[in-house]
Amino acid sequence: MTARIAIIAGEASGDLLAARLIQSLRVLNPDLVFEGIAGPEMQQAGCHVLYPLEKLSVMGLVEVLSHLPELLQIRKSVYQRWIKNPPDLFIGVDAPDFNLPLARKLKSAGISTVHYVSPSIWAWREGRVHKIRKSIDLMLTLFPFEVEFYRKHAISAYFVGHPLADEITFNADHRQARLALGLDTGRPVLAVLPGSRSGELARLGLLFLQVAETLQQRNPALQVLIPVVDDKARVTLEQLAARETPVLVLQIRVGVARQVMQAADRMLLASGTAVLEGMLSGRLMVAAYKVAPLTWWLIRTFGLLKVRYVTLPNNLAGEELVPEYLQHRASHEQLVEALEQLDELSPQRRDYLMACFHEQYRQLRLNASETAAATLLEQFSCLQSLN
């Protein structure tokens, strides 16, 4: 009998991770069937889409509230479907606030559950670990320090590495990427990545455009590129730039974020997966992030943030390799100054940062998708081929 896997991703980065996992699982057992909440990458890998992942792409404590009724209805719908016709395994890929409560109900019904990509419980809302223990049979982590945390709490966990590290060439040639993008190879490039969610674009889009405009006015040779995930984001940014930063000479590219990173000398990014990808690419960058004021107040008032840094390169290193500017500190003046300071780094400091980035790259480059797939087949015999 063909094994069936239910799988859910909730944003573009999860879509990519899930798609690579699906592909690797199918190499080991081509008969596996997948269905769930999926994006274009997962769909291309062969996952049957019950709902598009865009339905889950909501960030922030307050921001979720307006979408809560629809999110709850979607979760109820997939739960009822899988209770009536149980899959052999449920895999939640990231999106912990959606996936883990669903996993808990499925696990209670006797369905094996896995979570791929640990939520940052070591960073904030650490109390979630007790609910996680009741929700999953296995945690697949992308970072080595997470395994010890879970095993300390009696949760089975395996470090599989990060798929992005397997796909990215560290410190790739700037010139080749610029030629591929049709850029002037002799002029500096600033990559600007304000995030893929609509809320991120609303809070950071204008600020990032204004920072880029100021830097370009100070250095007219500066080429400014913004990679976006789709045409909807492109139109949003084009309209915003035309209205608010008409002097800025801007190039917006769809679907080539990694190539834009490789072409860049410096980057301004929304804190998140993009910062990790920037580190794996071996590029100097500044990270910024803003959430709704009430969300920030809740985080600060109740001490929900348990770590000193919010970006992964800094947490992995235990020091600030990537300058971070959060909430009120993410201002036009401070971001302009931070990006200009990257050009003024001493050769020794620049070499040190690149050495740290490369060491993290090496640690995370473990053929993650293949390792995760092999771990799942080893742990769940129902997924193994009967041929």
257 pLDDT above the threshold of 80: yes
Does 96 share its domain with 72? Answer: yes
Does 75 share its domain with 216? Answer: no
Can you tell me whether residue 254 is helix, strand or coil? Answer: strand
Does 233 share its domain with 359? Answer: yes
Does 82 share its domain with 186? Answer: no
Q: How confident is the model at residue 145 (pLDDT cuts 50, 70, 90)?
A: confident
Residues contacting residue 321 through CB under 8 Å, at least 6 positions apart: 279, 313, 314, 353, 356, 357
44 pLDDT above the threshold of 90: yes
Distance CA 250, CA 62 (A): 32
Does 288 share its domain with 173? Answer: yes
Does 292 share its domain with 370? Answer: no
Q: How confident is the model at residue 306 (pLDDT cuts 50, 70, 90)?
A: low
Name the residue with higher pLDDT: 55 or 93. Answer: 93
Does 53 share its domain with 130? Answer: yes
> Taking the model in full, what pTM does it have?
0.79
What's the CATH code of the domain at 309? 3.40.50.2000
Q: What angle do CA 314, 315, 318 make, to 5 degrees?
A: 80
Distance CA 229, CA 15 (A): 12
Residue 32 lies in a domain: yes
Is residue 95 within 8 A of residue 71, CB to CB? The reply is no
Report percent pLDDT > 90 for the chain: 72
Give the pLDDT confidence score for residue 125 in this predicted structure.
Answer: 66
Does 30 share its domain with 174? Answer: no
Does 355 share its domain with 216? Answer: yes
Can you tell me whether residue 246 is helix, strand or coil? Answer: coil
Does 319 share its domain with 374? Answer: no
Does 243 share its domain with 303? Answer: yes
Does 14 share its domain with 149? Answer: yes
Number of domains in the chain: 2
Give the pLDDT confidence score for residue 97 in this predicted structure.
Answer: 87
Residue 387 lies in a domain: no
Query: Phi and psi dihedrals of 138, rounded to 5?
Result: -155, 140
Whose CA is closest to 56, among 74, 42, 44, 35? 74
Domain residues for the domain of 134 are 4-161+366-382
Q: What does the mean pLDDT of the chain come to?
A: 90
What is the mean pLDDT of the segment spanning 361-372?
96
Residues contacting residue 141 through CB under 8 Å, at least 6 positions apart: 117, 118, 147, 150, 157, 158, 159, 160
Can you tell me whether residue 291 is helix, strand or coil? Answer: coil
Distance CA 339, CA 326 (A): 15
Report percent pLDDT > 70 for the chain: 90
